[in-house]
Amino acid sequence: HGQEPWWKAATFYQVYPASFKDSNGDGWGDLPGLISKLDYLDDLGVDCVWVCPIFESPQADMGYDVSDYRKIHAPYGTLADVDTLVRECHARQMKVILDLVVNHTSIEHQWFKESRSSKDNPKRSWYIWKPPRFDEHGNRQPPTNWRGYFAGSTWAWDETTSEYYLHLYAPEQPDLNWDNPECRAAIYQETMRFWLDRGVDGFRIDTVNKFSKHADYTDAPISDPNSSLQPAPEMWCNGPRIHEFIHEMNREVLAPYSAVSVGELSNTPDPQSVLPYVSAKRQELDMVFEFSAIRLGNGNLFGGKYSYQPFTLPTLKAMTSKWQRFIDGTDGWTTVFCENHDNGRAVSRFGDTSTHEFWRRSAKTLALWQTTMTGSLFLYQGQEIGMTNMPAAWGIEEYKDIEAVNFYNEAVASGDQARIDKTKHGLSILARDHSRIPFQWSEEPNAGFCSGEASPWMRVHDDCGTINVEAQTGDPESILEFYRGMLKLRKKHRNVFVFGRHVLLEPEDEHVWIYLKEEQGGDGASTRKRALVVMNFSREERPLLDVAAALGCEGEAARFLVGTDGVESKISSLKGWEGRIYCNF
């Protein structure tokens, strides 16, 4: 795979800048803080840093509401700090990508201020405006019955011109109208070329499949008879012109700069609809995040999101395999991840935090899972030390995210205690807040995230005295050192782990997860390199299958490669939450 682009075998690391490292004692992470930790990321084995939105923003949705794409939100630092970040990353042979949020802007963006000022403003059609409807009593109603992602209607009434504007997320996040060519040109120029000219290497593109809306703006079918608002993702996901827009963006900006692109693509469970985005010959995106596996446990889309749905290991395996295999035999590419800033912590959701020992073992097994999968690997800050969800004992006031707050308030407004309890329970597992609390650097006050005198913008985890970078550095048993080793191993055997074919074995086993990774091409099936990944996703000891037979080789040739317990275990059973890799090379 010598000719493969750099981003395929790369390890990406997502930084949530508000919570990574505060350098000036205001309790809010910043760019100088991030820069001071680049050696840490370099030592871990990171090749590319993805920084979540740092642009000027009123922070209605943590910077996913941008009021000026060419300015930095002051608490993060300055443009000069971004230049330093780019330089310091490149000096370490690391790349850096920014978050591109162009489905919507903030209501404070100049474009929107102009657009809302009058119906004949030149930027009026840069956003999506519609007249009201009226019910039989003559009451004003929004143009459609659509429910937005953060609860409530997707339409906000604007007095100035007596029309509604569309917002799929918060009312503070009006949707841009991609059908307007001047608007698209401004996006390419001001939000993309501006940063590429400053040396950034590409973008994670927010909500990339929602730029083209279905033009008819009709009501969504009733799926929730108890509500006047209905989920309507089919009205705005993968719309009629989406591939035209993404291809244009590629031709206009991404390709000329050789910029890497990873699109965030939700509500698209059908592989046939995902492939066109990532098929190389179509020249759209390099790769996308698909969320079926990471969304397990979420209730149905929209209103029911925080009604927790337990799931089994076979379901997780099936989801994983589906999205490992969907590029087989195509020219597409995929991503590997189990955490981000929009989901609860993986060890709390897919692992076991009931005891210290199970926490450590299961976090390492999750590491084994992630680092042996096909695609570009994305780690989320804190995953490498096994950071967990916020403690169950914390009150609802510790949840700061607009989505969590709105869903909770909606439940409270219903007056239905069962619904309130259900929502609280769901939030305790799934809320976006869990991944947004301060990073745990050390056992110092405020976990070393900010100075002891400062008050961090979110509460620091009670467990930061034991779960932190300092405690794990150099400890051969630690999650952090395990990640470090696995990231090296993944690259060393990239033909197997990064580029190999994934084959699921024993799909119905409720406790043990087993898959083969097989090098593609080569001289023939018998000499092809193969690895067998076996992971016990339960607390109890489980029998190990016949490894040599599963690898398709004679007993002598099956070799132990690595395991979560470190040294080779001769025991023919797996301890609770133990994982191992065997191979034929």
Q: Which residue, 41 or 101, is less far from ligand TEU as judged by CB?
A: 101
Residue choice 19, 59, 105, 207 for contact with ligand TEU (CB under 6 A): 207
Q: Which residue, 169 or 482, is less far from ligand TEU as judged by CB?
A: 169
Q: Closest distance between ligand TEU and the C-beta of residue 229, in Å? A: 14
- The SS3 of residue 413 is helix
Q: Which 308-347 positions form the footprint of ligand TEU (CB under 6 A)?
A: 341-342
**How many residues lie near ligand TEU (CB under 6 A)?**
13
**Is 22 near ligand TEU (CB under 6 A)?**
no
540 catalytic, yes or no?
Answer: no
Q: Which residue, 154 or 362, is less far from ligand TEU as judged by CB?
A: 154
Q: Which residue, 47 or 403, is less far from ligand TEU as judged by CB?
A: 403
User: Residue 491: CB partners within 8 Å, gap ≥ 6?
Assistant: 9, 45, 498
Q: Which residue, 341 or 360, is less far from ligand TEU as judged by CB?
A: 341
**Is 57 near ligand TEU (CB under 6 A)?**
no
Q: Which residue, 266 or 389, is less far from ligand TEU as judged by CB?
A: 266
Q: Closest distance between ligand TEU and the C-beta of residue 424, in Å? A: 17
Q: Distance between CA 96 and CA 12 in Å, rounded?
A: 9
**Is 268 near ligand TEU (CB under 6 A)?**
no
What would the DSSP string read from start to end of 467-520? Answer: SSHHHHTT-TTSHHHHHHHHHHHHHHTHHHHTSSEEEEE-TT-SSEEEEEEE--
**Catalytic annotation, pick one of 47, 175, 206, 384:** 206
Q: Closest distance between ligand TEU and the C-beta of residue 1, in Å? A: 30
Q: Which 132-161 positions form the footprint of ligand TEU (CB under 6 A)?
A: 149
Q: Which residue, 317 or 436, is less far from ligand TEU as judged by CB?
A: 436
Residue choice 111, 146, 155, 169 for contact with ligand TEU (CB under 6 A): 169
Alpha-carbon distance values, 181 to 164, 166, 192, 276 (Å): 22, 18, 16, 22
What is the token pair recorded at 580? 């191992």
Residue choice 172, 206, 384, 519 for contact with ligand TEU (CB under 6 A): 206
Q: Closest distance between ligand TEU and the C-beta of residue 282, in Å? A: 23
Residue choice 47, 61, 201, 352 for contact with ligand TEU (CB under 6 A): 61
Q: Distance between CA 266 and CA 291 in Å, rounded?
A: 6
Environment class of 413 (CB within 10 Å of its CB; exposed 0-12, middle 13-18, buried 19+)? exposed
In degrees and rounded to multiples of 5, residue 141 shows phi and psi of: -130, 150
Q: Which 279-308 positions form the footprint of ligand TEU (CB under 6 A)?
A: 305
Q: Distance between CA 364 and CA 478 in Å, rounded?
A: 8
CA 331 distance to own-chain centroid: 23
Q: Which residue has the tokens 């317990």?
A: 565
Q: Distance between CA 497 and CA 516 in Å, rounded?
A: 10
Q: Which residue, 64 or 582, is less far from ligand TEU as judged by CB?
A: 64
Position 540: which residue type?
E
Q: Which 387-416 positions form the footprint of ligand TEU (CB under 6 A)?
A: 403
Q: Are 440 and 345 in contact (CB under 8 A)?
A: no
Q: Distance between CA 169 and CA 153 in Å, rounded?
A: 9
Q: Are 469 and 443 in contact (CB under 8 A)?
A: no
Q: Closest distance between ligand TEU and the C-beta of residue 104, in Å? A: 7
206 catalytic, yes or no?
Answer: yes
What track of x and - describes contact with ligand TEU for positions 97 through 136 (by CB under 6 A)?
----x-----------------------------------
Q: Distance between CA 338 and CA 336 in Å, rounded?
A: 7
**Catalytic annotation, pick one of 99, 163, 264, 518:** 264
Q: Closest distance between ligand TEU and the C-beta of residue 221, in Å? A: 20
Q: With the C-alpha atoms ordered 350, 360, 344, 104, is the resulting torsion angle positive or negative?
A: negative
Q: Closest distance between ligand TEU and the C-beta of residue 252, in Å? A: 22
Residue choice 57, 144, 154, 266 for contact with ligand TEU (CB under 6 A): 266
User: Residue 416: CB partners within 8 Å, gap ≥ 6?
Assistant: none
Q: Closest distance between ligand TEU and the C-beta of residue 210, in Å? A: 8
Give the helix/strand (H/E) hosting 532.
strand 530-536
Binding site for ligand TEU (CB under 6 A): 61, 64, 101, 149, 169, 206-207, 264, 266, 305, 341-342, 403
Active site residues: 206, 264
